[in-house]
Structure 1
Amino acid sequence: MAVTAQMVKELREKTGAGMMDCKKALVESDGNLEAAIDFLREKGLSSAAKKADRIAAEGTTFIQVEGNKAVLLEMNAETDFVSKNESFQQLVQTVASHLLATEPASVEEALTSVVEDGLTVENLISNAIAKIGEKISLRRFVIETKTDADAFGPYLHMGGRIGVLTVLEGSTDVQSAKDVAMHIAALNPAYISRDEVSADEVENERKILTEQALNEGKPENIVAKMVEGRLSKYFEDVCVLEQSFVKNPDQKVKVFVESTGGKLVSFTRYAVGEGIEKREDNFAEEVMSQVKGN
């Protein structure tokens, strides 16, 4: 069967593959469009495998809210340039919608779930790799739910370099929930309150602070009191409710949240590439300067 320019154009629009690859696929499949798509998918999977050992530490975080469900995800690529690619952004949005619709329990389960026309999330990513030419991976995601009486606080910093999703229970004040998310983006706390810090962690910190005080030559009779004071500072560093609110340093986050009539029950913070490689970007300073300017 003769392969026409219109057939090549249609296949390119459906797959995003190069013109010569589309023409070859159509020749190999004797003009059968579906068979040609399968041919290109197989080629895409092969291309993806070759890129599997590359480091993908760039990319984006993304948040999608639909009613009483919300998802925060991190999708990685090799270069920051790709995060601005329209095809990459469309992939992220498609995956986010699928995650909300199916609520998989893990990344592994998400990758094997079928999105459309027999294509799994893994297939979609592999096809994007073939089209864009970089390793792309779904690294992590979290799905949150709430009631009509609660509020989500979605916040993306620098177009997705940092993503934070908060849940404010008992308040429908979305802006306040978002303000708390902006604070968390800036200061990166580990816990909501000191109640969440394990007894072992507290005891270990107490031992360290005690040794520090003794090494400073402080009298033993005042060391215990000093340690408790320093332990309070430790809680301020790691617990969001104990921290001074970035939009009003004279007010604790706990007081701000209470003023909304709600309660902060959860938060998730993703920074692109954290833990994959060391980054020198000072995210805290960037976010705080932006928040204070609002």
Structure 2
Amino acid sequence: MTISASLVKELRDKTGAGMMDCKSALSETDGDVEAAIDWLRKKGLSKAAKKAGRVAAEGLVGVAAEGKSGALVEVNSETDFVARNEQFQEMVLNIASLAAEAAGDVAALLAQDYPGKTITVEDYVKEMVGTIGENMSVRRTAALAVSDGVVGTYVHAQIVPGLGKIGVLVALESKGKNTEELTELGRMIAMHIAATNPVALNLDGVPEETLEREKAILADKNKGKPPQVLEKILAGGLKSYGKENCLLDQAFVHDPSKSVSQALKEAEGKVGAPIEITGYVRFALGEGIEKKEDDFAAEVAAAAGG
């Protein structure tokens, strides 16, 4: 019989199994959804839905870059043990290789065909949930590109090339011919970004509410001072904030005697042309995810009947 797309979707929603597995199950059971669920369970393919509610805050950040473009992806799992699984690592690398085309859109990335398979990235991840037995998800992605120059990269706590706990991209626009020197500079600045986690490229890029909060703190500390004095204090305070938090104004971690902008200027002679940082992205694994520390203990207690 012909299996409709809506029937496949219904089975997927109920089981979390991959699209092709759902289609096979429905074909084997003449379109009977309940029988198809049992078929999938017998095959061990109906695990994803059971895992979907569990917190996935571990995993890996994948980085893929080639010349003028680069991309980041964060793929989460429940435990760090899975991050050391070669199948999981291969999956993250393959997803990262597609991420530049998705241009930062997770939905677009999930809809792409998984390399070497006839299913989407989304369905392949669900199949891996069934295979490995942990909840996992493609949480976010980002991409950068330049017209001329390079996209520098750095991976911190690297497990294998291109995979680690922190991933950074930095876009360096330059018409300089010494791309080897520019690529190395990009790597060093990406390392700096990994270490310092700047708020913005410069003060102009800092959210207005953040600047207003800094001004309010300074004003409160200097109550009663004449307006003209307070104005200078606020200006000086924001300049100090920029040196601590804005990439171009920060002391370069590889040589704290100069700022990042000074390091860029000095490198222009070797590269052969002016250099401009047009953007950067930093992903730290699990940042912003609320981890439930008691999940594992609760599961053990439940299994023990406690």
Q: Sort the TM-score into its range (normalised by shorter chain).
A: 0.7 to 0.9
The secondary structure found in structure 2 opposite 1:90 is: helix
Q: What code does the residue aligned with 2:170 have?
A: T
Give matches, 1:1-294, under 5 Å: 46-100=46-100, 102-103=101-102, 106-115=105-114, 117-147=117-147, 149-159=148-158, 160-170=164-174, 171=176, 172=179, 173-199=182-208, 201-214=210-223, 222-261=229-268, 262-277=275-290
- The verdict on how the C-alpha distance between 1:232 and 1:54 changes in structure 2, with shifts beyond 3 A counting, is same
CA RMSD of aligned residues (A): 2.9
**In the aligned structure 2, how far is the partner of 1:213 from the partner of 1:42?**
71
SS of 1:181's equivalent?
helix
Contact 2:71 2:144 in 1 (8 A): yes
Identical aligned pairs, as a percentage?
A: 38
Over 3 Å counting, the alpha-carbon distance change for 1:104 and 1:152 in structure 2 is closer
Task: Classify 1:263/1:105 alpha carbon distance in 2 versus 1 (closer, same or farther; 3 Å).
Answer: closer
**CA separation in 1, counterparts of 2:203 and 2:250?**
11
Distance 2:169 2:97 in 1: 16
Change (3 A) 1:106 1:277: same
**1:244 partner letter:** A
Over residues 147-181 of structure 1, what are the superposed CA-to-partner deviations in whole Å (9 max), with x where a residue is unaligned?
3x302211000011111110111053111111111
Letter in 1 for 2:264: V
SS of equivalent to 2:131 = helix
- Mark the runs of 5 or more structure 1 residues left unpaired by the alignment: 1-24, 30-38, 280-294
Distance change >3 Å, CA 230–CA 73, structure 1 → 2: same
2:151 corresponds to which letter in structure 1? Answer: F
Report the count of equivalent residues: 242
CA distance in 1, matches of 2:41, 2:103: 24
The 1:241–1:113 alpha-carbon spacing in structure 2 relative to 1, beyond 3 Å, is same
Counterparts of 1:169 and 1:94, CA distance in 2: 27
Matched position secondary structure for 1:75: strand
For structure 2, the 5+ residue unaligned runs are 1-23, 29-38, 159-163, 269-274, 293-306
Letter in 1 for 2:189: V
| Residue type at the aligned position of 2:221 | Q
Instruction: State the alpha-carbon separation in 2 of the partners of residues 204 and 181 from structure 1.
Output: 28
- Aligned partners of 2:103 and 2:143 also within 8 Å: no
- Aligned-partner Cα distance in 2 for 1:278–1:50: 18
CA distance in 2, matches of 1:224, 1:209: 10
> Post-superposition shift, 1:228?
1.9
Deviations for 1:16-46, whole angstroms, at most 9, x for unmatched residues? Answer: xxxxxxxxx99x96xxxxxxxxx76996663
For 1:236 and 1:192, the matched residues in 2 are separated by 11
Q: CA deviation at 1:248?
A: 0.7
Q: In structure 2, how many angstroms separate the alpha carbons of the residues matched to 1:259 and 1:75?
A: 37
Whole-angstrom CA distance in 2 between matches of 1:180 and 1:104: 22
TM-score by length of 1: 0.74
Q: Report which stretch shifted further, 43-52 or 120-129.
A: 43-52
Q: Which amino acid aligns with 2:167?
A: G
